[in-house]
A and B are shown apart, each in its own frame.
Chain A
Amino acid sequence: MLNPLMILADLPPPTWGIFAEGQVIPFLFGTAFVVVVYVLISRARAGEPIPEIRKIAGLDAVDEAIGRATEMGRPVHFGPGIGAVSNAQTIAAFAVLGYVAKMCAQYDTQLIQTNRNIYVYAVNEEIVKQSYLEAGRPDAYNPDDVRYISGFQWAYCAGVLGIMEREKPAANIMYGSWFAETMIFLEVGNIVGAIQIGATTNTAQLPFFIAAADYTLIGEEMFAASAYISKEPVLRGTVVGQDIFRILIFAIIIIGTILQQIDPEENPLARILTEF
């Protein structure tokens, strides 16, 4: 039987007495990221300038889709993905749902919002209700339009298919963490003639969005889009902070690759990043 004390005996001594091997750089990197994001959020909140997020192609499509649904007198369907409430993609979807709900309230267009996760459902209900209130149309809010279908992936899928077939939305906005149900939703959206917008970071599902949706926000674009749409300081600061670190990572890769050509066996940057 494996003795846990034997495993402990083989561990190298911690760096600076507290960090396990190879954890110092990740800690410093993570801490620097938190500080940069905090500073940017504070600046955005105070109305001080921070780098602008460029407009994402396909963002106008949200307005176009809601406008089309309004003209046709048909509803808009919004799906937040099937991820948990703590999933970053689901959190990004909250901002976009708020925007979509406010637009639907202003144009008096029905918004059908379906959920798989009970916690996401609770949050979305609040968001939609609040958006109708902010749009000055609390009377138009219909609690039955925010729907919990099922906690099971395929039951949720079957339920949404039925809703789309029967209520024929003119716009289908799928924004969040999607999995194998993606193509089925998009196929039915196509059958009922809905304009479709997809956004996810799940790389296995992106091919389906690109093939079958009218507009797709690829990966990180969905976070940038939700920040761009909402103008929310927290989201803007976070996206700009992420971008700064993305550029930093880009620079590290360039420098690391140059060092790799000089001495492929002993790259000092690789050693620092993995061992320290």
Chain B
Amino acid sequence: MLVTSDPMIWTGALFTLAVFSYLYAENPAWRIAEHIYVGMTAAYTVAYQFHNTIKPTIMEDMLVDGSWGMLIPMIVGLLIYTRYFPSVSFLQRYPLSLWVGYGAGLVMAYAVPPLMTQIVGNFRTFDSFDNVVYWIATVCTLIYFFFTVKRTNPVIKYGAAIGRWAMMIAFGVSFGQTVIYRYNLFLSRMEYLLTDWLQLIEY
């Protein structure tokens, strides 16, 4: 058996096995993999942000190009650290408010036009079985999400029940598709172990 001598592939294979070992029970090998993974992502984030955001902004945008306006978002961002100083910790709310406001504005601007297209998409001609099923499922699912209408009216009561069934059938289909996709991920890992690491399979 020809096992690879590449240390990177060995590292990948051993970590893959350590993670898979969780399927038997929580154990020290899994725990080591977990902590290294979490720690490495923290280190990677710091290094990535420093080299790709902080350093070019200061060294190029500000010092070379003279874009001193960059100081404003920088100061706003730094306000998040005021949380460590109780007397001025209220200042951390400003960057957070800015971020939430930006998100809300973006949604308001771009969410409504596609909604019109979706509404018109439900104007179906009842000339096929598919169209009838589609329309009933959509309308009944909409009824299911009426929160201020009591379900004593038979139209609302049975409409919501059909809507629930329609959603469950759709979720079942989605579940099946995702399970198949997860199998693909597992097979991809097995391929890595058997081909790249153990070199049992050759293409």
Residue numbers of A with Cβ under 8 A of B are: 22-23, 25-27, 29-30, 34, 51-54, 56, 84-88, 91, 118-119, 122-123, 125, 149-152, 154-155, 158-159, 161-162, 165-166, 183, 203-204, 206-208, 210-211, 218-221, 224, 239-240, 243-244, 246-247, 249-250, 252-254, 256-257, 259-261, 264, 267, 269-270, 273-274
8 A Cβ contacts from B5-46 to A: 19, 22, 26, 31, 33-35, 37-38, 40-42, 44-45
Instruction: Say yes or no: is B143 at the interface (Cβ < 8 Å to chain A).
Output: yes
Cβ contact of A155, chosen from B37, B96, B108, B113, cutoff 8 A = B37
Cβ contact of B139, chosen from A30, A244, A254, A259, cutoff 8 A = A254
A258–B47 CA distance with the chains assembled, in angstroms: 60
6 pairs of residues in contact across A and B, judged by CB atoms under 8 Å: A26-B116, A34-B108, A150-B45, A154-B37, A211-B175, A252-B119
Beyond the given A152-B41, A269-B123, A273-B120, please list 10 additional residue pairs across the A-B interface where CB-CB is below 8 A: A29-B112, A122-B83, A203-B171, A206-B167, A207-B171, A239-B147, A246-B142, A252-B119, A256-B120, A261-B125
Report whether A150 and B103 are in contact in the complex, using a CB–CB cutoff of 8 Å. no
Report whether A253 and B151 are in contact in the complex, using a CB–CB cutoff of 8 Å. no
A165–B40 CA distance with the chains assembled, in angstroms: 21
Task: Provide the residues of chain B in CB contact with A261, threshold 8 Å.
Answer: 125-126
Instruction: Say yes or no: is B99 at the interface (Cβ < 8 Å to chain A).
Output: yes
A270–B123 CA distance with the chains assembled, in angstroms: 8
Task: Provide the residues of chain B in CB contact with A154, threshold 8 Å.
Answer: 37
Cβ contact of B178, chosen from A125, A207, A210, cutoff 8 A = A207
**A interface footprint on B122-159 (CB within 8 Å = 1, 0 otherwise):** 11111100000001001100110111111100000000
Q: Name the residue on B nearest A52 (C-beta).
A: B148
Instruction: Say yes or no: is B73 at the interface (Cβ < 8 Å to chain A).
Output: no
A219–B167 CA distance with the chains assembled, in angstroms: 11
Query: Which residue of B22, B103, B123 has the most chain A CB atoms within 10 A of its CB atom?
Result: B123
Residue numbers of B with Cβ under 8 A of A are: 19, 22, 26, 31, 33-35, 37-38, 40-42, 44-45, 80, 83, 92, 95-96, 99-100, 102-104, 106-108, 112-113, 115-117, 119-120, 122-127, 135, 138-139, 142-143, 145-151, 167-168, 170-172, 174-175, 178, 182
A30–B33 CA distance with the chains assembled, in angstroms: 49
Q: Tell me the minimal C-beta distance from A212 to chain B in angstroms.
A: 10
A204–B182 CA distance with the chains assembled, in angstroms: 13
Report whether A91 and B100 are in contact in the complex, using a CB–CB cutoff of 8 Å. yes
Report whether A253 and B139 are in contact in the complex, using a CB–CB cutoff of 8 Å. yes
Report whether A273 and B119 are in contact in the complex, using a CB–CB cutoff of 8 Å. yes
Q: Name the residue on B nearest A273 (C-beta).
A: B116
Report whether A155 and B123 are in contact in the complex, using a CB–CB cutoff of 8 Å. no
8 cross-chain pairs, A with B, having the tightest CB-CB distances, nearest first: A86-B103, A207-B175, A207-B171, A155-B41, A51-B148, A256-B123, A26-B112, A152-B41
Q: Name the residue on A nearest B127 (C-beta).
A: A264
Q: Name the residue on A nearest B114 (C-beta).
A: A26
Cβ contact of B123, chosen from A159, A183, A239, A259, cutoff 8 A = A259
Report whether B147 and A257 are in contact in the complex, using a CB–CB cutoff of 8 Å. no
Report whether B100 and A158 are in contact in the complex, using a CB–CB cutoff of 8 Å. no
Report whether B113 and A257 are in contact in the complex, using a CB–CB cutoff of 8 Å. no
Task: Provide the residues of chain B in CB contact with A249, threshold 8 Å.
Answer: 115, 119, 142
Task: Provide the residues of chain B in CB contact with A224, threshold 8 Å.
Answer: 147
Cβ contact of B38, chosen from A26, A150, A211, cutoff 8 A = A150
Report whether B34 and A162 are in contact in the complex, using a CB–CB cutoff of 8 Å. yes
Task: Provide the residues of chain A in CB contact with B150, threshold 8 Å.
Answer: 54
A207–B102 CA distance with the chains assembled, in angstroms: 31
Given A87-B103, A151-B45, A211-B175, check contact A26 B113 (CB 8 Å): yes
Report whether A158 and B34 are in contact in the complex, using a CB–CB cutoff of 8 Å. yes
Report whether B142 and A250 are in contact in the complex, using a CB–CB cutoff of 8 Å. yes
Q: Name the residue on B nearest A150 (C-beta).
A: B41
Report whether B41 and A151 are in contact in the complex, using a CB–CB cutoff of 8 Å. yes
Report whether A155 and B38 are in contact in the complex, using a CB–CB cutoff of 8 Å. yes
A211–B139 CA distance with the chains assembled, in angstroms: 25
Report whether A22 and B122 are in contact in the complex, using a CB–CB cutoff of 8 Å. no
Report whether A122 and B96 are in contact in the complex, using a CB–CB cutoff of 8 Å. yes
Given A91-B100, A246-B142, A250-B143, check contact A54 B119 (CB 8 Å): no
